[in-house]
Copies of this chain bind each other. A is one copy, B any other.
Amino acid sequence: MNAATDLATAELAVASLNEAALAARVATVALAAAPRAQKDAALLAAAAAIRVRALPILAANAEDLAEADGLTQAFHDRLALTPARVEAMARGLEEIAALEDPAGRVIAEWTRPNGLVIRRVAQPIGVIGMVFESRPNVLADAGALCLKSGNAVILRGGRESLRSVGAIHAALLDGLAAAGLPAAAIQVAPNADRSFVAAMLKAAGLIDLIIPRGGRSLVERVQQDSRVPVLAHAEGLCHTYIHEAADPAMARCVLSDAKLRRTGVCGSTETLLIDAAVAPSLLPVLVADLAVRGCRFHADARSRAICPELPPATDEHFHTEWLDAVLNIAVVDGVEGAIAHIRRYGTEHTEAIITEDAAAAARFLGGIASAVGMWNASTQFCDGGEFGFGAEIGIATGRLHARGPVGLEQLCTYRYQVIGSGQVRG
């Protein structure tokens, strides 16, 4: 494309995004006014439509896959839909329908000395823009979570999943229509031009929140370029610290789960911090447990003094989110040593301490700044479902608005209702 064509494409994208965002804003009025039953009816009808449309959805996905031929196996796995995955999407919608309505909830209420009653009430955020990569089923999850929380959403998937996304979107539109809710409540980008994303990121005032969901480069690009507030799901470089007062059996069991249950999730442990007091006895056992299951290691000098067969770790290794069966290991001195390591290398996602010593646990949980601190539990519990949120749109790694799993409640903001009887400030 030449520069003039680029510019024309960008202008069309802005016009198209602005139109979509204005329609979404209008839809938020209907969504805010919709009773829970109406939103749930839309979700249940959409679930039924996904089952009815299973064959066209799979056919569209097959076309996407054919075109994506030559991409990596991991990429293929993320893009591919199966009958089981389609059924899981439908069930996901039904599960979200079964959750409480987060909007309208009175979060707090108090009365002032002058008689004013002040209520803080949850309300939808408004118009959400979501940029996601290859998994087409993100559309169903995210669309349903936004709808249930009363937000309108504009989703832009990857170029490679355009047909799959279109087919799933048709089912969601069936659901909205069946419940009498506006189609503009869940919109997808008309094409996969990058200029549409660029227009989304510039749409401050039209879009209230951008949620990027995908690999690190996507998230960083969105954070860098967005003029709209971003709720980012960035890196999860999680640590498990085994304190000197750990129950050794629990430590073995929890560490194995934290590292190896699923290695590709953001809550998986990337670094083991082991207390110098127990490292000589416990580290060889922990390493053996994991090695048997195919785990590889990068160990600091103090760990290698105990287990000389471990390969050495560099500073870079301790900064790396492996998302694989790879574990960094460092020996640390007490809770303060563990906290210092985490402050230096961590990403404020999730950290765990394994100990029978409550005071040590309290020091650890109070000393880290991470979104989630676990005591005697696997870091892999950092998950909306496990937290009882029913479903999540991601794990927030920033410090504002929401941290950790982002479920329906976190997709809301609040407003105040102040009830008086003619009070003036005078």
Task: Tell which of B32, B223, B401, B422 touches A400, judged by Cβ atoms closer than 8 Å.
Answer: B401
CB-CB under 8 A from A420, the residues of chain B are 374-377, 381
Across the two chains, which residue of chain B brings its CB closest to A415?
B371
Across the two chains, which residue of chain B brings its CB closest to A253?
B424
Contact B417 A375 (CB under 8 A): yes
A398 at the interface (CB under 8 A from B): yes
CB-CB under 8 A from A126, the residues of chain B are 369, 399
Contact B423 A123 (CB under 8 A): no
Q: Which of A147-204 contact B (CB under 8 A)?
A: 204
CB-CB under 8 A from A247, the residues of chain B are 422
Complex-state Cα separation, A374 to B314, whole angstroms = 59
A166 → chain B closest CB, angstroms: 30
Per the CB 8 Å criterion, the residue count for chain A at the interface is 67
A418 at the interface (CB under 8 A from B): yes
A143 at the interface (CB under 8 A from B): no
Contact A399 B125 (CB under 8 A): yes
Across the two chains, which residue of chain B brings its CB closest to A118?
B387
A380 at the interface (CB under 8 A from B): yes
A257 at the interface (CB under 8 A from B): yes
Contact A112 B425 (CB under 8 A): no
Contact B229 A380 (CB under 8 A): no
Residue-wise interface mask of A (376-419) relative to B, using a CB-CB cutoff of 8 A (1 in contact, 0 not): 11101101001110000000001111011000000001111111
Contact B369 A423 (CB under 8 A): no
A304 at the interface (CB under 8 A from B): no
CB-CB under 8 A from A415, the residues of chain B are 369-373, 403-404
A73 → chain B closest CB, angstroms: 25
Complex-state Cα separation, A421 to B375, whole angstroms = 8
Task: Tell which of B33, B118, B257, B387 touches A388, judged by Cβ atoms closer than 8 Å.
Answer: B118
Across the two chains, which residue of chain B brings its CB closest to A340?
B29
Across the two chains, which residue of chain B brings its CB closest to A370?
B415
Residue-wise interface mask of A (213-228) relative to B, using a CB-CB cutoff of 8 A (1 in contact, 0 not): 0000000000110010
CB-CB under 8 A from A399, the residues of chain B are 125-126, 208-209, 413
Complex-state Cα separation, A421 to B254, whole angstroms = 10
CB-CB under 8 A from A366, the residues of chain B are 32-33
A261 at the interface (CB under 8 A from B): yes
Contact A417 B125 (CB under 8 A): no
A386-B425, A424-B253 known; A416-B369 Cβ under 8 A: no
What are 6 of the A-B contact pairs (CB < 8 Å)? A112-B388, A126-B399, A257-B424, A369-B415, A378-B425, A381-B423
